[in-house]
A and B are shown apart, each in its own frame.
Chain A
Amino acid sequence: NAGVTQTPKFQVLKTGQSMTLQCAQDMNHNSMYWYRQDPGMGLRLIYYSASEGTTDKGEVPNGYNVSRLNKREFSLRLESAAPSQTSVYFCASSELGLAGGDEQFFGPGTRLTVL
């Protein structure tokens, strides 16, 4: 099993460009999450999806949109990239989500630079 996969691994954008980060999991997990990791800030939740067909905002949703395409896939879209969105983006999944307390499984991350 590949676990959680993310594409691309690296990306450089110019201010104003758009892009979609892809995430897929093969563990049949119900919940999926998008985080950003910034130095000195830890990981901050951008959006999450508790189950297929549902999405909700996390701590820092501004400038992002998400789509839970099916149970496996959860994409993150930047409509008009800004330098403040330069970060490392992590996707994660967990089995139940609703109960809380579950282990989250993380992808390898996407390093995004916005010039």
Chain B
Amino acid sequence: AQRVTQPEKLLSVFKGAPVELKCNYSYSGSPELFWYVQYSRQRLQLLLRHISRESIKGFTADLNKGETSFHLKKPFAQEEDSAMYYCALDTTSYGKLTFGQGTILTVHP
């Protein structure tokens, strides 16, 4: 069965520092991978997906099939990036997502 692991439950950085949220997955086929974010008092929303290969709010994520990883990176963290981040894997049709445990990112001023 597929699995998504986010090894850090909590991650704290200072404003302007680089940040990397780790995500590893187990799946032998070609995965569809996503990062979802939940800001305080807001709904869970899509941040980015690997098939789009885009940068959203300064965040990027590269799929590394050899290491089965999809880490989320930003070179200069901002206070407004503080949120819960979920990595998610879609291995089937019908859009059934498998989520990681989530990482709470806190960016200190």
- Take A42-B102, A44-B99 as given contacts and tell me if A106 and B93 are in contact as well, using a CB distance cutoff of 8 Å: no
Interface status of A98 (Cβ within 8 A of chain B): yes
Task: Give the docked Cα–Cα distance between A80 and B32 (Å).
Answer: 36
Q: Range of interface residues on chain A?
A: 20 to 34
Q: With CB as the reference atom, state the residue of chain A lying closest to B88.
A: A43
- Take A41-B101, A42-B102 as given contacts and tell me if A48 and B43 are in contact as well, using a CB distance cutoff of 8 Å: no
Q: Which residues of chain B have C-beta atoms less than 8 A from A59's C-beta?
A: 98
Q: Which of B27-67 contact A (CB under 8 A)?
A: 32, 43-46, 49, 51
**Is there an interface contact between B43 and A108, defined as CB atoms closer than 8 Å?**
yes
Task: Give the docked Cα–Cα distance between A44 and B2 (Å).
Answer: 13
Q: Range of interface residues on chain B?
A: 20 to 34
26 contacts between A and B (CB under 8 A): A31-B95, A33-B96, A35-B99, A42-B4, A42-B99, A42-B102, A43-B86, A43-B99, A44-B99, A45-B96, A48-B94, A48-B95, A58-B96, A90-B44, A94-B95, A96-B95, A98-B93, A98-B94, A100-B94, A100-B95, A101-B32, A101-B49, A101-B51, A101-B95, A104-B95, A106-B45
Q: With CB as the reference atom, state the residue of chain A lying closest to B41.
A: A108
Q: Which residues of chain A have C-beta atoms less than 8 A from B4's C-beta?
A: 42
Shortest CB distance B13–A (Å): 22
Interface status of A26 (Cβ within 8 A of chain B): no
| Chain B residues within CB distance 8 Å of chain A | 4, 6, 9, 32, 43-46, 49, 51, 86, 90, 92-102
Interface status of A53 (Cβ within 8 A of chain B): no
Contact among A31, A44, A106 for B94, CB-based, below 8 A: A31
Task: Give the docked Cα–Cα distance between A19 and B35 (Å).
Answer: 32
Q: Which of A20-50 contact B (CB under 8 A)?
A: 31, 33, 35, 40-45, 48, 50
Shortest CB distance A6–B (Å): 10
Q: Which residues of chain B have C-beta atoms less than 8 A from A79's C-beta?
A: none
Shortest CB distance A38–B (Å): 10
Q: Which residues of chain A have C-beta atoms less than 8 A from B51's C-beta?
A: 101
Task: Give the docked Cα–Cα distance between A96 and B94 (Å).
Answer: 8
